[in-house]
Amino acid sequence: MTNDLYINGKKVDSFGDWSPQTEHPLHIIQRQEHDKRIELEQSLRMSPKEITFVSPEPQEMPDICKGEALFNLEREYYPLLKEQCIKLDDAYSKVTLMQSAIEPSEFEIQDELSQKLFVILPI
């Protein structure tokens, strides 16, 4: 290379080879930006805080035959919901009965253990 850069008698190959006596220009810029950021954060912390309490505005529901509309909805959907509720209760009772039939009771477990003298446990 014909245009070699020497600082304090030392050849600089790349930007990472700067000596401690001199500082790379990017480090200077980085330090200045960091100082500006710290100054901005401190000014934000020192600025007076204003707490504003905002309460939501009361909103009234439109009074367009509320009672009658709810009554009509209930009259239309209550039988369907009641029928679905009965079906779900039946299905739940069947599942719990099946689960109780599959799982052995504590009495059955004790009876099984008393009949077998040696129980082999997998390790």
The number of folded domains in the chain is: 2
Domain extent, residue 31, equals 5-41
Q: Is the four-CA dihedral 11, 12, 18, 22 of positive or negative sign?
A: positive
pTM: 0.32
Backbone angles phi, psi at 3, to 5 degrees: -105, 65
**3-class SS of residue 105:** coil
What pLDDT is attached to residue 1? 46
Per-residue pLDDT of the chain (123 residues; tens, 9 = 90+): 456 777 777 776 665 555 556 777 788 889 899 999 999 998 888 887 777 777 777 766 666 666 787 888 888 999 999 999 999 999 999 999 888 888 877 888 788 777 776 656 666
End-to-end CA distance of the chain: 73
Give Cα 88 to chain centroid, integer Å.
Answer: 33
Q: Is residue 15 part of a domain?
A: yes
Distance CA 87, CA 81 (A): 10
- Is 10 among the domain residues? yes
Residue type (1 letter), 117: L
